[in-house]
Amino acid sequence: DGGITQSPKYLFRKEGQNVTLSCEQNLNHDAMYWYRQDPGQGLRLIYYSQIVNDFQKGDIAEGYSVSREKKESFPLTVTSAQKNPTAFYLCASQASRQGIYSNQPQHFGDGTRLSIL
């Protein structure tokens, strides 16, 4: 079945540590996104990528980094610079952000819940 897989489901970070959240999709989608969701809040865009080897900052990119070396993979690193990383992180993909494909929905993974030890 096609879809998006996020791992791990739960992750704990120690002070000063960088952690990487995995996001893999087999939908052959060009565009991928990372969102952060705090309790009782909406989703905020961290980073997005329209195509391999290209990505753009979202609204809250500080303290995060991404890479897009392969079409199917868009890992998110939460660095030690992110002082309040506890949240639910969601990855999504879309066929494309451009042209007729912009009317395609985003497909979401089941999220990674990150907590501080």
> Using CB under 8 A, which of 58, 63, 73, 79 touches another protein?
58
Say how many CA atoms lie within 13 Å of 73 toward its Cβ.
9
Q: Which residue has the tokens 């791990």?
A: 8
State the Cα–Cα distance between residues 64 and 56, nearest whole angstrom.
12
State the Cα–Cα distance between residues 92 and 105, nearest whole angstrom.
10
State the Cα–Cα distance between residues 50 and 98, nearest whole angstrom.
9
Least distance (Å) from another protein to the CB of residue 108? 3
Residues 78-117 that bind another protein (CB under 8 A): 88, 90, 92, 97-98, 102-103, 105-111, 113
Confirm or reject binding of residue 40 to another protein (CB under 8 A).
yes
Chain positions contacting another protein, by CB under 8 A: 4, 6, 33, 40-45, 48, 56-59, 61, 88, 90, 92, 97-98, 102-103, 105-111, 113
